[in-house]
Amino acid sequence: MSDSNELHKKDHVGTAAPGCPAERSSAAPSAGAPFLARSLREKWGLAQLSATARVIQRRAFLAKSVATIAGLALWQWRKPAVLQAAPSAATEPKEVTIVLFSDAGQRLRKERVAKVVRTENEWRKLLSGNAFDITRHADTEIAFSGKYWNLHDKGLYRCICCDNALFDSATKFESGTGWPSFWAPIAAENVTEIRDTTFGMVRTAVSCAECDAHLGHVFDDGPEPTHLRYCMNSASLRFVSHT
């Protein structure tokens, strides 16, 4: 009887036997479960990081594209407005009438001269980089950076590109702007005034009549007797002292 009971105990494993379904459902998780959960979390985290990186990369690309388009739009809006206002090679006159002056500032005579026309490469070889950008592409030098804004010597200011006489020191005045300023050109025939709509405002650009070099702008806030202020770029001018 005792042997039979012992045998019965060995055969009747019940729910206490290791590995049975009931034990697996009620026992603590196996050692592999935390690893699997951690692995899933890491994969999810990497997926999230990858998605975030793609969003950032996409936003950076869009920002760069917008900046490029804005830059092109600004260039189209700013630079060509003055350049397009100047006569094109097909329509500009081959000759212009200017007034000739000696280096001493003496008015000589009116004369019909050939318009000075050169290619971009030719101008680039003849001019400094700064003078090229200003005279041929309507750029502007930084205030107080030019060599003539504070010059008070007596003399003549000629075009840096073609030597056309433009201004006399007798009409130069201290404007406080940081650019050389004159209340009149040396002769009206020697400069050309062009409507300029850059920067969203309407101004009057001034260029050399002989070669179309951009010189600066004219404003109506100058002193007597003209009440005009020809605000010029030093890089567009060449000063010749009166001898």
Identify which of 100, 104, 101, 126 has the alpha carbon closest to the alpha carbon of residue 113.
Answer: 100
Cα dihedral angle (234, 119, 79, 98), rounded to 10 degrees? 50
Tokens of 117: 């026309």
Residue of 159, 161, 208, 231 marked active site: 231
Catalytic site includes residue 161: no
Distance CA 211, CA 89 (A): 12
HSE-up of 176 (CA within 13 Å, CB side)? Answer: 3
Q: What is the C-alpha to C-alpha distance for residues 52 and 208, in angstroms, rounded to an integer?
A: 57
Active site residues: 231
